[in-house]
Amino acid sequence: MLSKAAHGDVAAKKKKGPGALATAYLVIYNVVMTAGWLVIAVGLVRAYLARGSYHGLYYSIEKPLKFFQTGAILEVLSRVFLTWAVTHSVREVQSEDSVLLFVTAWTVTEIIRYSFYTFSLLNHLPYLIKWARYTFFIVLYPMGVTGELLTIYAALPYVQKTGLYSVTLPNKYNFSFDYYTFLILIMISYIPLFPQLYFHMIRQRKKVLGHAEDYSKVE
């Protein structure tokens, strides 16, 4: 049975925030993620410069993209899904401009987001990073979503033709799954989900940047 004093200690510890080990882990994690996305961004730029166009860009960043996508267990599911279940699985989609659209959007978003987390953890957040995090999304979110939707849409005819990831009756598990219909449902789900996310970020922006005038530029 815990004494009241011990209980108090535990409660106090909880309030102090993540312990040193957790903070160290989070800092390293965020630095690695920032670096990873920087690698992808650099790769994109170099490949573009080398080829003179942006066809085939996906292949140049495929490996690091996959690594940093699946490494990010905490990432939003849509990122992993788009990379593996759509773009990777449907070869024909990989040369589409829509892929470039969402990869660029994600890349820039993620570099800003992970630098934001890294700096926050070290209690030294430059105002510029905070401003970037809460402003760039205004263009990057719609850009990313458009790219994602166009990519899924582009994959549809190939999924239907090949029956990719689909299971039909009869079978001994009495189960069926139509990947084509599933993708359409995913696309439809963007309609309620995206505006909610977007306007949540806008509200956050008002709250966070609204008070900017009251505080000093560097925290």
Partner 1 sequence: MWHKSVVFFEVEILDAKTKDKLCFLDKVEPNATIGEIKSMFHKSHPQWYPARQSIRLDPKGKSLKDEDVLQHLPVGTTATFYFRDLGAQISWVTVFLTEYTGPLVIYLMFYFRVPFIYAPKYDFTTSKHWVVHLACMCHSFHYVKRLLETLFVHRFSHGTMPLRNIFKNCTYYWGFAAWMAYYINHPLYTPPIYGEQQIRLALIVFLFCQIGNFSIHVALRNLRPPGSKTRKIPYPTKNPFTWIFLLVSCPNYTYELGSWLGFTLMTQCLPVAFFTLVGFIQMTVWAKGKHRSYLKEFRDYPPLRSPILPFVL
Q: Catalytic amino acids?
A: 141, 148
Count of residues touching partner 1 (by CB under 8 A): 8
CA atoms of 75 and 69, how far apart (whole Å): 8
The smaller minimum CB distance to partner 1, of residues 173 and 215, is found at 173
Closest among 64, 59, 71, 89 to 152, alpha carbons compared:
89
Interface stretch with partner 1, choices 24-32, 84-92, 165-173, 188-196 (CB under 8 A): 165-173
Sequential DSSP letters for the chain: ---HHHHHHHHHHHHT-S-HHHHHHHHHHHHHHHHHHHHHHHHHHHHHHHHSSSTTHHHHHHHHHHHHHHH-TTS-HHHHIIIIIIIIT-GGGGG-HHHHHHHHHHHHHHHHHHHHHHHHHTT--BHHHHHHHHHTHHHHHHHHHHHHHHHHHHHHHHHHHHTTT-B-SS-TT---B-HHHHHHHHHHHHHHHHHHHHHHHHHHHHHHHHTGGGS-SB-
The single residue among 4, 16, 161, 172 that binds partner 1, judged by CB under 8 A, is 172
When asked if residue 11 is in the footprint of partner 1 (CB under 8 A), the reply is no
Q: Is residue 215 a contact point for partner 1 (CB under 8 A)?
A: no
Q: Does 192 bind partner 1 (CB under 8 A)?
A: no
Among 17, 52, 170, 210, binds partner 1 (CB under 8 A): 170
User: Closest separation between CB of residue 176 and partner 1, Å?
Assistant: 7
CB of 196 to partner 1, least distance (A): 17
To partner 1, the closest distance from the beta carbon of 1 in angstroms equals: 11
Q: Cβ of residue 167: shortest distance to partner 1, in angstroms? A: 9
Q: Is 175 in the site for partner 1 (CB under 8 A)?
A: yes
- Does residue number 1 form part of the binding site for partner 1 (CB under 8 A)? no
Q: Which stretch binds partner 1 (CB under 8 A): 20-28, 74-82, 169-177, 180-188?
A: 169-177
Residues that bind partner 1 (CB under 8 A): 169-176
